[in-house]
Amino acid sequence: MKGTNLGEFEELVLLVVAVLFDEAYGVAIQDELLNRCDRETSLSTIHMALHRLEEKGYLESRLDGATNERGGRKKLIFRVTKSGQKALAFSKDQRNSLWNAAPKAAFNFIPR
Amino acid sequence: MKGKPPVWIEKLLSRFLTHKQREAILGDLEEKFFRRLSNREPIWKVKIKYVVEGIGFLKMMRLKNNSNSIIIHDMFRNNIKLAWRSFLKQRATSFINVFCLTVAIAFSIPVYLFVHIELDNEYFHRNGSTVFLVESQFLKDDHLTTTGRSPKPLGPAMQQELPLITDVVRVERTNGEINLGDGKKFYQWVHYVDPGFMNMFTFPLKAGHADALSSPQTVILSDFAARNYFGNDDPIGRTFEIKTGDETKLFTVGGVTDQYPTNTSLRFFILAPYGDQPSHASAHDWKQFTTATFIKVSHASDVDQLKQQMNRFVVLHNATVTDHPMESFTFDNLYDLKRHAANVEEGLAYPPFWIAIIMMTAIATLLLLLAGFNFMNISFASAIARFKEIGVRKVVGISRFELFTQFMTETLLTGIISVAFGALLVWVVILPLMQSNGVRINDVTDFMSRPDIWFYCLSVLMGIAFLSGAYPAFVVSCFRPVVILRGRVKLESKNRFMQSLLVFQFALAFITMITCLTLFSNAFDEKDRFWGYDPSDMVSFVVKTNDQLNALMKEVSERPDITSVSVNASHVGFSYSRSTVEGEGRSNGVVTYRVSDTYFKQLDLRLKQGKFPKEPGFAVVNETFVKSFDLKDPIGKTFTMDSVYYVIQAVVEDFHYFDFQSQIDPVVMEIKNNVESGIVVVKTTPGRAENVSEAIGAVTRHQFPNERFFIHVQDKLFDDQYRSSKYIVHLFIFTTFLALFMSGLALFGLASQRMANRLKEICIRKIFGVPVFKAVMMVNGSFLYMLIIAAVISTPASYVIANILLDSIYAYHSHVNITAFLTAYVLMFVTLFITLSGKMYKVATVNPSEILRSE
């Protein structure tokens, strides 16, 4: 197991769920990923990621809000849990510390 | 635009998703579905996207199952990828395989549809399994005969007295004259039925109400009739007259059915209320029979119980008659009517068209077998070419099961592609083509939605996969890598097996071709076959009244191109009746004709004994009659028929009074002069039959504009039969060439592979001075031997098969002749020689240095 580490896509999905707050369900996440991150994804990929995140305890879900355009079916709304927030924060801190640790010279490209 | 997402995705996904997931996922899918729809994307695109996305969720399956299934899942994905790649890589062989299979499948699907509708013609009636026809049984000549007719009061009586019956529908079918006014007249069947008809049987309604039949003098028309009567106008509420018997009644159109399979025994033009039939006064008379009485029960098994309760009705009927008492009633399920039709007299159903069923099934089976073996041979050959790959993979540690599944996947892929192409070809090209040529065996629109067609395609696919794929895959997976990689030691013995498969394929091709050519020559002969009488220059027409007879006789007698005229009650090739003859201590069923004394001369029957009679009471019989009564000296012998005495005065040679398919029965022709109406038979001077027929037609149209006359030129009477033969002939030619083509393709594929394998060897031999002929024979010689062996094997086999087929179809047929065999051999050898000639030329002319230079 990778421990509590988040995959890149998982991290994105987790963040998008946070962005959408109480409106995060499959199609909305897909749209948001396309609009904000320019990433085209299939619904099944998103649901797989959501499922995995929920298993890890980073997300919680509830069934809510049936609308006619969904053939009368309810939405599965996701929210980020406390540990999800921690994982995101951890991942962000990790990156920040890595960014800070990298010497400026590392990104200093001399045009050839 | 409206549309619904395909349901099967929902069903599929529901199998493994939890409730929560299902709700969310299907909701998401549907949301996207409707969003795309409102974006005005075409519905088919939206559906495809829905399906693709839905299938994507199959990977959720992995979440629930253990890790083992992941490996299998990946293996299958890998196999499919591999199969697809090798399919694309071996473009030529893939094309040959797919082509042959597609053609065979595209041929077999219409055959399946045809056979299905011939045998299960009532399949579309949803309640069919609980609907039964009541049949009456009588003792006739010491054996039980069954008739589809039943006493008129039986239906209501059963409904009243037997609580097991949920519904009863009586059907009275009569000929009617439909008068639409303005001189527009039709002569068609009218079905008088009880109001429950539309509930009991599933006829789709296009307009109006199904309960229209409950109100008197309201009819339901078939789509066909409505279009004929009123064109494109709205038929609902229109009125017209129906004349049945002497009674004329005005009817209003209350409903129109949509198109339904035309082969049903209940095919109708007009459905009218049962109470409106002209002879309805006799509805309570147990002596009177109606065309059919259908009952509906809750469970099909209830009829066993019902059978025991039917005796009271038999008694009621028998109380009204003095002779021929009824024995019993029996029930026949709606779905079985057609299959049992041959044993039921006066039933609604006609027996299935066995000739066509047998022929088509035989040809379709042979073609499928041929394509399957072709496929097997080619996939075997390509598997052998991949020995090294297999060997290496085995060394690396692939299991036998995995290897087997890999090869099976490749076979299945080709199979799936072929079946899909075949079905598509049928759907898009063949069915519309057949429809435009008037052959309606199925509705194009419901073709893809019928589960039985899917089932049929699937079983063909499985058949192909296991016939052609399982053995090569098994053999390949069995090889030991050491043996493979060390050299090609074992190849030769496998080659021998492959050769025998190829021989089998050639033999199949021979059998297909010879069978087709034999049937072809028989169909061709039929036109020139002797009928036993002279049908040339003969015109016949039916007159119904004495007035008509007199008027037309006057016209006929004035024409110079008419040599003789006779008026008869029946006429050969046109009609006949059946009776029972008693004499010499036995009784036999016979075919009878009532004709005038001049008729024999006109027909030019071949006299064997005696002379043609001139007076009533004398009879002419055929040879079969003499044989069936075992008469030593027939002339002057007497017999009774319908309690009248007859004296045999002449015996004629057997003649085909109906068609070549039916057996010739004993025939009695008795004299009946001066009939007032009947069939007028006119013999013309040579070549004038057409003109006379037209002239008579003109006279009848002028003098009797309200009557319809049936005028036939005797030669043409059988054109229908020839026409069906002609279709069959086309079919045979097509199949023969298909078999040739497939053999050619198979051989080409194998020869290419053989040459690729041995080209280097040949080049080295050429350097050492092997003669060209010998070099050619080294590569292609074995094919020649195989072909000869195949010809030897298939000769007796095809003789037997062709004979069985001919016997099962025709009571009288020409013999299996040698021309068919010779033609098949010559065609095959020539085709295969042409196929191989390119390769032969290459072997003969190849420059060894070109090939051997590169290594």
Domains of chain A: 8-96 (1.10.10.10)
Q: Distance (Å, rounded) from C-alpha B711 to C-alpha B684?
A: 14
CB contact under 8 A, A43 and B57: yes
Q: What is the DSSP string of A32-84?
A: HHHHHH-----HHHHHHHHHHHHHHTSEEEEEE---GGGTTPPEEEEEE-HHH
Q: In the structure encoding, which two tokens stand for residue B379, read together?
A: 């996939």
Q: Side-chain half-sphere of B733: how many Cα atoms within 13 Å?
A: 8
**DSSP per-residue string spanning B37-55:** HHTT--HHHHHHHHHHHHH
Of residues A27, A43, A73, nearest to B23 (C-beta): A73
Which chain A residues touch B32 with a CB distance below 8 Å? 27, 43
CB neighbour list of residue B823: distance below 8 Å, 6 or more residues apart: B513, B517
3-state secondary structure of B170: strand
**Residues on chain B touching A48 (C-beta within 8 angstroms):** 59-60, 63
Q: Which of B681, B101, B587 is nearest to B371 (CA)?
A: B101
CA distance A36 to A31: 8
Residue B365: the pLDDT is 87
Instruction: Chain B: give the shortest CA distance to residue A53, in Å.
Output: 13
**Residues in chain A within 8 Å Cβ distance of B57:** 43-44, 47
Q: Is residue B194 within 8 Å of residue B246, measured between CB atoms?
A: no
Nearest residue to B755 via CA among B853, B849, B845, B825: B845
- Above 90 in pLDDT, residue B421? yes
C-beta separation of B205 from B198 below 8 A: yes
In degrees and rounded to multiples of 5, residue B68 shows phi and psi of -60, -40
Contact list in B for residue A73 (CB cut-off 8 A) is: 23-24, 26-27, 30
Place B66 in a pLDDT band, splitting at 50, 70 and 90.
very low
Q: Are B164 and B306 in contact (CB under 8 A)?
A: yes
Q: Which of B28, B29, B58 best probes binding to A when mutated, by most A CB atoms within 10 angstroms?
A: B28
What are the chain B neighbours of A47 within 8 Å (beta carbons)?
21, 24-25, 28, 57, 60
H/E stretch holding B823: helix B818-845
Which residue of chain B has the CA closest to A68? B31
How far is Cα B360 from Cα B190, in angstroms, rounded to an integer? 34
**Digit-coded pLDDT (tens) for B731-751:** 778 878 888 887 887 777 777
Mean pLDDT computed over A9-27 = 89
Separation in Å, CA of A22 to nearest CA in chain B: 15
State pLDDT tens for residues B636-658: 888 888 778 888 888 888 888 77
**What pLDDT sits at residue B570?**
81
Higher pLDDT, B527 or B465: B465
pLDDT confidence of residue A16: 92
The length of chain B in residues reads 855
Contacts with B784 (C-beta within 8 Å, 6 or more apart), sequence order: B777
Distances (CA, A) of B842 to B755, B771, B832: 9, 14, 16
Distance from CA of B482 to the nearest CA of A (A): 41
The predicted model gives A78-98 an average pLDDT of: 90
CB-nearest to B27 from A45, A51, A75 is: A75
Per-residue confidence (pLDDT) for residue B802, from 0 to 100: 83
The phi and psi torsions of B768 (rounded to 5 degrees) equal: -85, 5
| CA closest to A31 among chain B residues | B32
Which pLDDT does position B267 carry in this prediction? 82
B21:A51 CB<8 A: yes
> CA of B88 to nearest chain A CA: how many angstroms apart?
28
Interface A-B: count of C-beta contacts within 8 A: 72
More confident residue, A87 or B544: A87
Compute the distance between CA of residue B587 and CA of residue B576 in angstroms, rounded to an integer.
19
B57 inside 8 A of chain A by CB: yes
**CB–CB contact A43 B29 (8 Å):** yes
Mean pLDDT over each residue of chain B, to the nearest integer? 81
Retrieve residue B288's tokens. 């009177």
pLDDT of residue B855: 53
Give the residue from chain A lying closest to B32, CA to CA: A27
CB B795 within 8 Å of CB B821 = yes
Summarised one tens digit per residue, pLDDT across range B593-623 is 888 888 888 888 888 888 888 888 888 888 8
Question: Residue B475 pLDDT more than 80?
Answer: no
Helix (H, G, I), strand (E, B) or coil at B195: coil
Task: Provide the pLDDT for residue A2.
Answer: 47
Q: Chain A within 8 Å of B29 (Cβ-Cβ)?
A: yes
Contact yes or no for B540/B682 (Cβ under 8 A): yes
Provide the angle, in degrees to the nearest 10, between the axes of the packed helices B719-767 and B91-119.
160
Q: How far is B170 from chain A (nearest CA, A)?
A: 46
Q: Give yes or no for residue B625 having a pLDDT over 90.
A: no
Per-residue model confidence as pLDDT tens digits over B657-679: 777 667 788 888 888 877 777 88
Q: Is A42 on the interface with B (CB under 8 A)?
A: yes
* A43 touching B (Cβ < 8 Å): yes
Question: Token pair for residue B75?
Answer: 């293996």
Task: Tell me how far apart the alpha carbons of residues B451 and B470 are, in angstroms, rounded to a whole number.
Answer: 27
Q: Give ipTM to 2 decimals.
A: 0.84
Question: How confident is the model at residue B824, as a pLDDT?
Answer: 85
Mutate to test the interface with A, among B31, B33, B51, B65 (most CBs of A within 10 A): B31
Q: Residue B440 has what pLDDT?
A: 56
Among the partner-chain residues B27, B31, B59, the one whose CB lies closest to the CB of A44 is B59
Q: Does position B438 have pLDDT exceeding 60, yes or no? A: no
pLDDT at B685: 84
Contact with chain B for residue A73, Cβ under 8 A: yes
pLDDT digits (tens, 9 = 90+) for B246-292: 788 889 998 898 877 767 788 888 999 888 887 767 778 888 888 88
Q: Is the CB of B35 inside 8 Å of chain A's CB atoms?
A: yes
Could you tell me if B723 lies within 8 Å of chain A, comparing CB atoms? Answer: no
B60 neighbourhood in chain A, CB within 8 Å = 44, 47-48, 51
Q: Which residue in B24, B56, B63 is closest to A25 by CB distance?
A: B24
Integer Cα distance of B383 and B288 in angstroms: 73
pLDDT value, residue A98: 92
Q: Are A44 and B57 a contacting pair at CB < 8 A? A: yes
The percent of residues above 70 in pLDDT, for chain B, comes to 90
Residue B538 pLDDT > 90: no
- pLDDT tens column, B793-810: 888 888 888 888 778 777
Tell me the angle at which helices A8-20 and A43-56 cross, rounded to the nearest 10 degrees: 90
When mean pLDDT is compared over B520-534, B706-720, B793-807, the highest value belongs to B793-807
DSSP B442: S
The three-state secondary structure class of B850 is: helix
Cβ distance of A47 and B21 shorter than 8 Å: yes
Confidence at residue A3, expressed as pLDDT on a 0 to 100 scale: 55
Q: Which residues of B touch A51 (CB under 8 A)?
A: 21, 60, 63
Q: Is A45's CB within 8 Å of B34's CB?
A: no
The distance between the two most distant Cα atoms of chain B, rounded to a whole number of Å, is 104
pLDDT greater than 60 at residue A81: yes
Tokens of B549: 């007879």
User: CA nearest B38 in A: which residue?
Assistant: A69
Predicted pLDDT of residue A97: 92
Closest CA to B549 of B572, B564, B567, B563: B567
Q: Which one, of B142, B51, B672, B655, lies nearest residue A44 by Cα?
A: B51
At a CB cut-off of 8 Å and minimum separation 6, what does A14 contact?
A: A6, A53, A58, A59, A80, A84, A87, A88
SS3 B190: strand
Q: Is A74 within 8 Å of B31 when comparing Cβ atoms?
A: no
Instruction: Give the chain B residue nearest A26 (alpha carbons).
Output: B28
Confidence (pLDDT) at B422: 92
For residue B554, the SS3 value is helix
- Residue B684 tokens read as 């013309």
> CB-hemisphere CA count at 13 Å for B446?
12
Write the DSSP assignment of B261-282 as a string of letters.
Answer: -TT-TT--SEEEEGGGSTTGGG
Res B343: pLDDT: 80
Instruction: Say which DSSP state B346 is in.
Output: T
B705 burial (CB, 10 Å; 0-12 / 13-18 / 19+) is exposed
Percent of chain B with pLDDT strictly greater than 90: 2
Residues of A in contact with B34 (CB under 8 A): 69-71
- Residues in A touching B30 (Cβ below 8 Å): 69-71, 73
What's the pLDDT at B493? 52
- B31 contacts in chain A (CB < 8 Å): 27, 69-70
Interface test with B, best of A34, A41, A43, A52 (most B CBs within 10 A): A43
- State the angle between helix axes of B67-89 and B91-119 in degrees (0 to 180), rounded to the nearest 10: 110
Q: Is B589 on the interface with A (CB under 8 A)?
A: no
